[in-house]
Amino acid sequence: MKPISIIGVLLIIAGIAALVLGEVSFTKRETVVQIGDAKLEAQTRETYPIPAVAGIAGIVAGVVLLVVGYRRR
């Protein structure tokens, strides 16, 4: 399989994952107060939505790369 086809498959998988998940979230830790060795930390959870258009665009781009990869044989 050509590298362009592999990238196309990865884009399709990423596009489907973006449509299924819909958002990316992670936990961020930051030190609020530090006195000597003692620390007071706060955790915040941040969530970023993934637009459906981005998932669809990834799938379309992946399909285009697959077609181009198969035509260039």
Return phi, psi of residue 23, to 5°. Answer: -160, 160
| H or E element at residue 47 | strand 38-49
Domain range for 44 is 3-71
| pLDDT of res. 70 | 84
Residue 73 has pLDDT above 70, yes or no: no
Tokens 């086809």 correspond to what residue? 5
- The count of domains in the chain is 1
The predicted-structure confidence for 1-56, as pLDDT tens digits, reads as follows 788 989 999 999 999 999 999 999 999 999 889 888 888 999 999 999 999 999 99
Whole-model pTM? 0.73
What is the residue type of 63? Answer: V
Q: Are 8 and 69 in contact (CB under 8 A)?
A: yes
| pLDDT of res. 2 | 86
